[in-house]
Structure 1
Amino acid sequence: MTSEDAAATPVEQPGPPPEAARRVFGDRLPDAERYAELLSGVGVQRGLIGPREVPRIWERHLLNCAVLGEVVPEGVTVCDVGSGAGLPGIPLALVRPDLEITLLEPLLRRTRFLEEVVELLGLDHVSVLRGRAEEVLGTFTPVHVVTARAVAPLDRLAGWGVPLLRPYGQMLAIKGDTAGEELKSARAALGKLGVVGTEVLTAGAGVVDPPSTVVRVEAGESPGGVRFAAKRAKAARAGRRRRR
């Protein structure tokens, strides 16, 4: 981080980690603390999170995202769509070193922050990719799991995330108390994307209060449906032409 960033960092700090953080992050707790400091400092200064979020950085952000690791299969590839300041991708990476994670984010100032965090924390299993989900189709290798938090309503989010999945992959979206209602209203859109299964899960019960609510969407044999398969093929052809 630059000296200008340090000078502009707000005085308020996130405070010591709660006991739950020790349980969740284990020996990566010092790295989680460093990430909390970065979010609360240059993250606020660069407009990645609001200053009012600093006092609740652990419970509302880091722990809320880290417990997602409970429902992610072992040893899979993950794409964190609209990663923003790295939520949930960075906390997930800290608790699940077995995952290969791509942080997908369109805004330059955010991708720069993410690259700095990945380097500072030594997250060798994490890469940062600048772009929108719909723009990388055809050049992006499909993944087993797509994650997202506070990106968009479920129907729109699925339109971006499901086409990035491998056949029978799953999208895991951290949602709030209205997750069930949102899922119900998105059923038609999910059907058009070839989704074969959905459910609402909780993660972090007995660890964080309240537990995180996660909507799980399972893709079918052709994630995204015929329209997105055609779009992916078209993007692939365009990418090959550009590389010639």
Structure 2
Amino acid sequence: MFHGKHHDDRLQKAALRAGIDLTPAQGEQLIEFARWLSTEAVDAGGIGPDEGSRIVDRHLADSIIFASAWDRTPADILDIGSGVGLPGIPLAITHPNATVTLLDRSRERCRLARRAVCVLGLENVSVEQGDALRVVGRRDVVTFRASLPPVSAIEAAVPLLSDRGCAVVGLSRTTEPRLSLTSPPGTTLDLLHIDEGVLDSPAWLLRMTLTNPRILDSDPS
């Protein structure tokens, strides 16, 4: 169902846009994840039943494109509101040297995410049930894909970022978002546009970069 030129091209285009040299083994893992999403995850309600036919376009390629927002390979990634592992699992597959944490409040979604990690044999992924406001420690990258509104996401991300780290927030997949946001102290905000030729529709990402690590001095955690 998921092998074929269209799906392979879509994954390759997303990887190229994100600066990733996608290996055949990684491509196979992504397709295996697509199969799992379209069967077990759909059956369990972890992903909508209407999404099964467009998992590669709307979920896997869309997840890979988050990596276009950073300019250095992260050592660790925290995916907040990860659900069944989006975008965290595709990012873990394409960044095997990064430690990836999938965070979600739902026990059932965490169970499904752990199941996916087991099926795929991913050793660089852990799954935690909890709230972003209670996370301890900092990461190079924090991602949000439809889990929090942009304002809430950037507020939650600031204390979670390491020096020069960045938060990436998934935005609209149809029209350019109209945002009225103020950068938190010591950060910069950028709106990134992904062309329609990369995904199956235009997409936008919001990137917040921690530019002044001194704002962390007041929080010794």
User: What percent of counterpart residues are identical?
Assistant: 29
Give CA-to-partner distance per residue, 1:181-218, whole Å, 9 cap, x none.
23x2x32xx43xx2521111135774323354211012
Query: Which residue of 1 is the match for residue 96 of structure 2?
Result: 97
Query: Which residue of 1 is the match for residue 37 of structure 2?
Result: 39
Q: Structure 1 residue 166: deviation in Å?
A: 1.6
- Structure 2 unaligned runs (5+)? 16-21
Q: Does residue 144 of structure 2 align to residue 157 of structure 1?
A: no
* Aligned residue pairs, count: 207
Query: Which residue of 2 is the match for residue 9 of structure 1?
Result: none
Q: CA–CA distance in 2 between the matches of 1:223 and 1:104?
A: 25
> TM-score, normalized by length of structure 1?
0.75
- The answer to whether the Cα contact below 8 Å between 1:63 and 1:208 also exists between their aligned partners in 2 is yes
Between 99-108 and 211-220, the greater mean CA deviation after superposition: 211-220
Instruction: From 188, 193, 204, give the equivalent of 1:197.
Output: 188
Instruction: Please identify the structure whose Cα radius of gyration is greater.
Output: 1
Q: CA–CA distance in 1 between the matches of 2:216 and 2:9?
A: 38
Q: CA–CA distance in 2 between the matches of 1:159 and 1:225?
A: 17
Q: Does residue 213 of structure 2 align to residue 221 of structure 1?
A: yes
- The answer to whether the Cα contact below 8 Å between 2:46 and 2:83 also exists between their aligned partners in 1 is yes
- The answer to whether the Cα contact below 8 Å between 2:74 and 2:141 also exists between their aligned partners in 1 is no
> TM-score, normalized by length of structure 2?
0.82
Query: Which residue of 1 is the match for residue 50 of structure 2?
Result: 52
Higher share of residues assigned helix: 1
Q: CA–CA distance in 1 between the matches of 2:120 and 2:191?
A: 32
Query: Which residue of 2 is the match for residue 78 of structure 1?
Result: 77
- The answer to whether the Cα contact below 8 Å between 1:203 and 1:211 also exists between their aligned partners in 2 is yes
Q: CA–CA distance in 2 between the matches of 1:225 and 1:84?
A: 32
Q: Structure 1 residue 170: deviation in Å?
A: 1.0
Q: CA–CA distance in 2 between the matches of 1:75 and 1:88?
A: 15
Q: CA–CA distance in 2 between the matches of 1:68 and 1:149?
A: 9
- The answer to whether the Cα contact below 8 Å between 1:196 and 1:218 also exists between their aligned partners in 2 is yes
Q: Structure 1 residue 162: deviation in Å?
A: 2.2
Q: Residue 30 and residue 211 in structure 1: after superposition, are their counterparts in 2 closer, same or farther (change >3 A)?
A: same
Between 90-99 and 80-89, the greater mean CA deviation after superposition: 90-99
Alignment RMSD (CA, Å): 2.5
- Structure 1 unaligned runs (5+)? 1-13, 237-244
Secondary structure at the counterpart of residue 181 of structure 1 = coil
Runs of 4 or more, structure 1, over 3 Å off, are 14-17, 177-180, 202-207, 222-226
